[in-house]
Each structure stands twice: as C-alpha cells, then as structure tokens.
Amino acid sequence: MTNGNPETQDVRTISNFLRDQIAEDVRTKKYGDAEVQTRFPPEPNGYLHIGHAKAICLDFGLADEFGGKTNLRFDDTNPEKEEQEYVDSIQADVRWLGFEWDRLCYASDYFGQLYEWALQLIKAGKAYVDDLTADEIRQHRGTLTEPGKDSPYRNRSVEENLDLFVRMKNGEFPDGSRVLRARIDMASPNLNMRDPVMYRILHATHHRTGDAWCIYPMYDYAHGQSDSIERVTHSMCTLEFTDHQPLYRWYIEQLGIFPSQQIEFDRLNLTYTLLSKRKLLQLVQEKHVSGWDDPRMPTLSGIRRRGFTPEAIRTFCAAIGASRTNGTTDIEMLEHFQRDDLNRRARRAMAVLRPLKLVIDNYPAGQEELFEVANNPEDPAAGMRQVPFTGEVYIEQDDFREVPPPKYYRLSPGKEVRLRGAYFVTAQSVVKDADGNIVEVHCTYDPASRGGSSPDGRKVKSTIHWVSTAHAISAEVRIYDKLFTKADPGDVEEGESFLSNLNPDSLEILNDAKLEPSLASAKVEERFQFERVGYFCLDRDSTAGKLVFNRTLPLKDSWAKIEKKAGG
C-alpha cells in the first residue's frame, strides 16, 4: 500500500533520517549488543503541547520499532519554574498519547552523582569556581567574531576550587555570587565551549529534593550525564541544541562515561499556533484562555478536551516524520488526519445548533414515529439507532430562507426538501414575531416519502437534519476557531506582543442547541459527528441538567485542496 497517502501507508516506511541512523548503529553494533535506549526529557515547567507529541512519537516510536526502551525523564534542574502539577500532567499526557515508559526518571535523582563528577572535573583541572558576576561573565564571553577573555579566577588552584565548590554546596554563599565553570577554551569558535557554567547557586526549594541542594546544575551539564547514567544510546532533541553537541560530548569524554549520542531533528512549528511553554503559560496566567486545557490551546490536554484523538495525532506525527531543517506545517494537515479518524469512528447524531421550528400542518396530531438510522455509514459494525419523529421539528435557521438567494437549494416557500431519513416536506408559510423575525415555518409533508425515499422518482436538491421538538434535549455548544488571526502568531510590529494577534472570535457559545435524545447518554470526551455540522465531543463541564459540547472541527476539509494545489 504505497500510494503516497500516509494514512494508509505503514508508518515505518515513511522516510525519516533518525530511523536510518538508528538502523545503521544497530547494524554496525555501535553499542555492541545493548538494546536501543531512548528517553523523552520534558522540563516540568508547563503542559505538553503538540510539538512535544512529535518528540514523544520519535523517542518512544523509534525505540519500539527496534525492540528498545524509552525512559520518561523529568529534566528538573530549574526549581523556580517547576511544579508537581506539571509532573503529573506530563505523565497523564504521555499515557493518553498511547505510550508507556520503561523507567520513570528525574534529573534530580542524579544530583549526587553529578556533584561527584563535578568534583572529579575540578580535581582534573577541568573546572573552576568563578567569582565574576553574571554580567561580567557575559562581557568576558566575547562574540561570534571576537574571542572571549579569561576570567581572573580561571587559574585558581585545585585546592581552592574544591574548597569553594564544597562551600557553595554547603550554602555559605548567596545566590549569584559564584558559579562553577568548565575549563575548556575561551577562544573556541563555539560560544558554548567558552568555559560554560556548570553550577549556579540558588537557594530555592525544589519540588522533589526540597532544600537538600542550593546549587543546581545547568542544562548542558545535567542532560548528557543523565543520558549516560541511563545508558541512552540515541538522545534525540531539537535542532537548537546542535551547537551544544560538542559540549555534550566534551563532558562525557572527560568523565569517561557511557557514550550517549545526541541527534538533532527539526522542531514542529504549526501555522496559527504557538508552541512555547513560556507563551502558553502567559496565556493561562493572564486568562486569555480558561486554563492549560482550554480547547483552543495546542496543549495535549487542550486538544484532547477539544476532541482530538491520540490515534490521529500519532498518524500526523508519523506523516511529518523528522528532518534536519526547520519548517512550518499547515495546521490543516493535522486537522485533516483528525477528520479522517473521526469520520471512520465517530458515531453520527442529529443536532440543530441554531434552531428554527418547523411545523408540519398535515401530519396527524399526536402521531409519533421512530426512524432507524445508521450510527456510522463508514462502519456497519457501529449498528443502528432509532430517532423519534413528530409533526414539529427543529431545523437550522440557515436551512430556511423566506427569500432564497440564487442557488439556494434548501427550504424556502414552495420548495421541497428531504428531512433526513424521514419525509419530503414543502414549505408553505412563516410566522413572525412583532419585530419581523421568523419564529416558525409551516410546511406540508408527503406521507408516501416515508423513510426519506422518493415516492415517484421526483428529486429534491437538499437533505436537511432535524430534531423532534417534543424529544429534543437542549445543550450548550462551544464553537472554537483559531486562537490567533495570523498564520505566524509571533509576527508582530515592533513593541507589540503576540497577544495582539489573538483572535477575538475564537470562541462562540450557542446556548440553545437542540439535540436528538440519544445524546443524553453521551460520556465525557465521547466524540460524534453532528450530521452536516461537524465533529463534537462532550465537555467535562456537562452536568445532568445541561450538556456541553465542544466543536472539534467543522466538516469541511481544506487540507485536501491545499494538497491538490501543491500537486500532492
């Protein structure tokens, strides 16, 4: 099945340079008989977003393909920004996406070992305590075109460095007064190699280690060594770490420990979407959204609440693969995979979002019928259900026009349409309120069209959905649109913030939608296709007396068009 359509293609055949490299390392036994070991290393300073899903699918998916294992490791070296709430949400999200880790690890579990290794580097003359301020260190660092300058403290004796570092650890010095630096090369063309900071003093309470430490390792010193401790063979990360790779290798070589290797791939960028925990946190804190799981957020908990499925996200991630250059992916592509998945699996239902009453004048008073309809025409196994019909139904306001514009084929006076699965009806007259708004449409039906089939071969141009007024359940429906108005939400005038690109119409609440009665038993997160309207799922704000549905996506798929235009 290689028709170029990723949904039907085995994901393992989609080219991906990471897969090729791992296959090569396995073939050449680069790590002997050790199995492929990867890790997913989030910092618990926010909720996971769709960009993380890409990394998760690569870390877990590739290890799994090669019979290897993946650890979930919290990169918790910044006590000031990290919280248990984030640790919990990250675990829930990884599992929801469909992955289970081998070991659950924390960089903070390695603080003791990292400290021992720092002492080892000091003793080898490879690290020193620097008393320069952060500003001075920056000034000494030089630029891309100028070499850096040695710190006056660079040539301290091993004894003095050991003494100062132990005292840093013991809490004798205030925050920011000293740092431990690797002693590498202040003239290196790579700025990361100009005596990078290894440890800083921070009298902060850590979410796991409490007040046990007042010095904390920097990312570069912690990450590679943590990989090495876990015997990670392939440490995949995003391209912005490419310039850090020499430092990653330097620490491992100096310490002579397990040679984990870092491999960089492209970060996921999506149009109309911000994927930065810092900015997402700002949206939450400033209440531009209702929380990390607001259905407009690109967080996994947000798109989950919106109705997205882990299956579709995984298919999307497989289709985008991984490359060595950054680019931007159309949000429509993600939506396309989601629609495709929901089209195959979501149960159909009739729901009228903006109701207009349709009265069938010649339908026998008090009569009630049950019509059998398919739960999902794409999936016969989904079975059938019964929908009650009476002489008074709700239809969408948009499905009636008193004065139809050209090419309007839905209901209008004198025109006949099909009520899905029920009868042909012809509009006859309208009832208006004092302000001239149409409040009721009156029509007649053709009893011979029972079940919605044509009695004599005559054709109707439209089939519209309906809900019996006597049986309808009222619900709130939340219609979501893009959170940002610009394809690149970060594109702003000087002095403006990305907030100026927020879409003021990203949420519309419909308070009086009318649903077919079978939806009364919907469960939170259960997904439906409301016929002719879109995909929806039940929100957890629902109560026994009031259902709340979120619109996942409208039906229209613009990706197919984009793909066609691109010649795909």
Closest to ligand ATP by CB, 275 or 537? 275
Q: Radius of gyration (Cα) for the chain, nearest Å?
A: 31
Q: How many chain residues touch Mg ion (CB under 5 A)?
A: 1
Site string for Mg ion, 7-46 (x = CB under 5 A): ------------------------------------x---
- 41 binds ligand ATP, rule: CB under 6 A: yes
Secondary structure of 15-55 in HEC code, one letter for each residue: CCHHHHHHHHHHHCCCCCCCCCEEEECCCCCCCCEHHHHHH
Closest to ligand ATP by CB, 483 or 537? 483
The distance of closest approach from Cβ of residue 355 to ligand ATP in the complex, given in angstroms and rounded to an integer, is 42
Residue position matching structure tokens 């209702």: 290
What does 179 interact with, of ligand ATP, Mg ion, none (CB < 5 to 8 A by kind)?
A: none
- 180 binds ligand ATP, rule: CB under 6 A: no
Q: Give the pairing type, strands 234-238 and 261-265.
A: parallel
List, as one string, the DSSP characters of 355-410.
EEEEEETTSPTT--EEEEEES-TT-GGG-EEEEEE-SEEEEEGGGB-SSPPTT--S
- 224 binds ligand ATP, rule: CB under 6 A: no
The distance of closest approach from Cβ of residue 176 to ligand ATP in the complex, given in angstroms and rounded to an integer, is 23
- 238 binds Mg ion, rule: CB under 5 A: no
Strand order in the sheet with 347-349: 347-349, 527-530, 534-538, 547-554, 473-480, 507-515, 351-352
Closest to ligand ATP by CB, 268 or 479? 268
Single out the residue of 234, 277, 314, 465 in contact with ligand ATP (rule: CB under 6 A): 277
Closest to 82 in 3D by CA, of 202, 175, 171: 202
Catalytically active residues, by annotation: 43, 267, 277
Q: Give the pairing type, strands 351-352 and 507-515.
A: antiparallel
By CB under 6 A, what part of segment 70-99 binds ligand ATP?
Answer: 75
Single out the residue of 21, 113, 209, 276 in contact with ligand ATP (rule: CB under 6 A): 276
Crossing angle of helices 111-123 and 245-255, in 10° steps, is 80
Single out the residue of 16, 19, 31, 52 in contact with ligand ATP (rule: CB under 6 A): 52
Instruction: Determine the residue with CB nearest Mg ion.
Output: 43
- 267 binds Mg ion, rule: CB under 5 A: no
Closest to 82 in 3D by CA, of 61, 107, 53, 114: 107
- 51 binds ligand ATP, rule: CB under 6 A: yes
- 302 binds ligand ATP, rule: CB under 6 A: no
Q: Give the pairing type, strands 547-554 and 473-480.
A: parallel
The distance of closest approach from Cβ of residue 215 to ligand ATP in the complex, given in angstroms and rounded to an integer, is 21
The distance of closest approach from Cβ of residue 227 to ligand ATP in the complex, given in angstroms and rounded to an integer, is 11
**Maximum CA extent, the chain:** 102
- 232 binds ligand ATP, rule: CB under 6 A: no
Strand order in the sheet with 37-40: 37-40, 69-74, 104-106
Interacting residues with ligand ATP (CB under 6 A): 41-43, 51-52, 54-55, 75, 237-238, 267-268, 275-277
